[in-house]
Structure 1
Amino acid sequence: MILHNANDALMCKVFAMTLRGAVQDWFHTLPSGSISSFKELAYVFTKEYTSYRTIKKNTDHLYNLRKKSDESLRDYIKRFKAEKANIVGCDDWIAASAFKKGLPTKHDLYCELTITPSQTLAEVYATAEHYALWDDDRIAAKKSTK
């Protein structure tokens, strides 16, 4: 519409027709005559809804993930994989490094990944799954003794 030099009133009306649900309700709560141009409408709309925009995470985000003390290794693996899946173009070598950094340094898997560096992410996950089985067995054994 901007390319066709449409006037502000037409642009505001067409914009309103694209809204649905709660956003449309918000639009209709604007006081009559409070918007004088499409530029102003765009500003008010952006101000109202910018916080709802999802912010794309980058690979650095993975370095903030840590295995929680009360979290099983299997749950940490699932959480890490889910976070990695949300990062477009995530480098596997960086992800493997971040996965290891998220483990406590005294964890057996951390030691294993340190002893055998330069593993692919798939190899790190495979090793982690083996340790998760071991971790599951230890958790089950603790529960059965209680």
Structure 2
Amino acid sequence: MILHKADNALMCKAFAMTLRGAAQDWFHTLPSGSINSFKELAYVFTKEYTSYRTIKKNPDHLFNLRKKPDESIRDYIKRFKAEKANIVGCNDQITLSAFKKGLPAEHELYRELTITPSQTLAEVFTTAERYAL
């Protein structure tokens, strides 16, 4: 629409037609005449809904994960895999290092993974699942 030089009123109406659910309800609660341009509508909408945006995580996020003292190995594996699934393009070596770093140094699994460091990620998770059992 911007390419066709549509006027502000038309762009605001077209934008409103793309909204669904809570966003549509929000739009209809705007006081009549409170928006003077599409640019202003875009700003108000962005301000309202920016907090709902998912923040993309990078692979470094995995290094913040730690096995909690009262958490089972099975639960740690499950939580770790869930977090890894939210990271696009995470390389296996980083994942493996972060998983191991999240284990307490005194844990048997940590010791085994340190003794045999050339394992693939699949082998590490297989070993971890064996410990979980």
TM class by smaller structure: over 0.9
> In the TM superposition, what whole-angstrom CA distance separates every residue of 1:49-89 from its partner, at most 9, and x where no partner exists?
00001111110111111111111101111111111111111
TM-score, length of structure 2 as denominator length: 0.97
Unmatched 5+ stretches in structure 1: 134-146
User: 1:118 deviation in Å?
Assistant: 2.4
Rounded to whole Å, the distance in 2 between the matches of 1:20 and 1:129 is 43
Rounded to whole Å, the distance in 2 between the matches of 1:94 and 1:14 is 45
Partner of residue 131, structure 1: 131
Partner of residue 97, structure 1: 97
2:81 is equivalent to residue 106 of structure 1:
no
User: 1:34 deviation in Å?
Assistant: 0.9
AA partner of residue 54 (structure 2): T
Q: How many equivalent residue pairs?
A: 133
Partner of residue 24, structure 2: 24
Q: Structure 1 residue runs of 4+, over 2 Å off?
A: none
Rounded to whole Å, the distance in 2 between the matches of 1:130 and 1:17 is 53
The percentage of aligned residue pairs carrying the same residue is: 84
Secondary structure of the corresponding residue to residue 15 of structure 2: helix
> In the TM superposition, what whole-angstrom CA distance separates every residue of 1:100-136 from its partner, at most 9, and x where no partner exists?
0000111011111111112211111111111111xxx
Rounded to whole Å, the distance in 1 between the matches of 2:21 and 2:86 is 27
Rounded to whole Å, the distance in 2 between the matches of 1:117 and 1:84 is 20
Rounded to whole Å, the distance in 1 between the matches of 2:114 and 2:72 is 20
- Rg bigger for which structure? 1
Secondary structure of the corresponding residue to residue 35 of structure 1: coil
Rounded to whole Å, the distance in 1 between the matches of 2:24 and 2:84 is 35
AA partner of residue 84 (structure 2): K
Partner of residue 78, structure 1: 78
TM-score, length of structure 1 as denominator length: 0.88
